[in-house]
Amino acid sequence: MSILVTGAGGFVGNNVVRRLVEAGRPVRALVRSIEKSKARLADVAGKIEFVEGDVTERGSLDGALRDVSAIVHTVAIALERGGQTYEEVNFQGTINLVDAAERAGVRRFINVSQNGARPDHFSRFLRSKGKAQEYVASSNLEWTAIRPSAIFGPQDEFFNTFARLIRLTPLVFPLIGGGTAQFQPVSIFDVVESIFRSLDDNATIGKEFELGGPEILTLGEIEARILAAMGEKRAMISAPVGLLRPAVFVMEKTLPGTPVSLTLLELLKEPNIVRDNALVTYFKLQPRAFSGDNIAYLRAANAGTAIKKFLTGATVN
């Protein structure tokens, strides 16, 4: 029996796949494009089964769930692109998958949610994730929810976006919202390890686990660390959110790979920090810090890939 990983070609998904392969577990990768996903998972492609499907299309799920013992659900969008919406992908997509799992008799379900997500959140993004988790919790599945703060690591979009923008701004860099928004960056490797350990731990069933790194950092401190990791220096200029909104609105309308959205800007209103860090209190891990060798991958950002990403929306890492 295989473990199905949805969004297996995505940032969280491909790292979950690699951890499962490392442990010798049989993996079925649910992806929208087998060709693209095989390229990203080239080093382990021969050890996993690829199936093409889309959580927004109910008919593509039943076959993918045959002979599956557990599901790790990582599919989500943080930015709405190409006509996809939060409600369609994050919420309805999860409903479709949960319903298909119940039809197929799959019991174990790990849902990768988001720190701060709740059904009544002011942000449509976190509201969609909150409603999705609410539906998971109302099901008959043996579910566990993983709720990370901002995830960093090779291939991440959030922190790599800052690195790309730095390559395109040689003299000054904006201190977004004055740099006061708070985050608790958590390593992709720590998030994946908590998912892996949860799969066979029945004590995690019916529980939600908030995950964060060892430090609470302001956005200003994060930007400073990214600059240091890249060996760069910039004059930091405070950029109030109100002044950024018109520019961000234009980017959303004109750039297929816009680095930021109005939705993400509004999330700066609320600290992205965890109340009880389950990495420490439950999984007994020492979280990796957003510093040093852990963020050395940011040096790889360059102006060429930045322009390609912003103008086309193509995956560049």
Half-sphere exposure in the Cβ direction for 314 (13 Å, CA): 9
∠ Cα 61 121 289 (to 5°): 80
Sequence spans of domains, the chain:
2-148, 158-182+215-271+288-312
Mean pLDDT over 53-59 rounds to 94
174's tokens: 């904006």
Q: Within 10 Å of residue 210's Cβ, how many Cβ atoms? A: 23
Could you say which architecture CATH assigns to the domain 2-148?
3-Layer(aba) Sandwich (3.40)
Overall pTM > 0.85: yes
Q: Residue 54 pLDDT > 90, yes or no?
A: yes
User: What mean pLDDT value characterizes the chain?
Assistant: 93
Q: Residue 166 pLDDT > 80, yes or no?
A: yes
Distance separating alpha carbons of residues 164 and 183, to the nearest angstrom: 20
Half-sphere exposure in the Cβ direction for 73 (13 Å, CA): 35
pLDDT confidence of residue 313 = 65
The total number of residues shown for the chain amounts to: 317
DSSP class of 116: T
- 105-118 pLDDT, tens per residue? 999 999 999 999 99
pLDDT confidence of residue 162 = 92
∠ Cα 17 214 9 (to 5°): 20
Q: Residue 294 pLDDT > 90, yes or no?
A: yes
**pLDDT tier at 272, thresholds 50, 70, 90:** very high
- CB burial of 167-199 (b: ≥16 within 10 Å; e: otherwise) equals beeeeebbbbbebebbbbbbbbbbbbbbbbebb
- Bigger pLDDT: 70 vs 39: 70
| Residue reference for tokens 């999984």 | 283
Q: Residue 123 pLDDT > 80, yes or no?
A: yes
What value does the CA radius of gyration of the chain take, rounded to a whole number of Å?
19
Contact 301, 310 (CB under 8 A): no
pLDDT confidence of residue 315 = 67
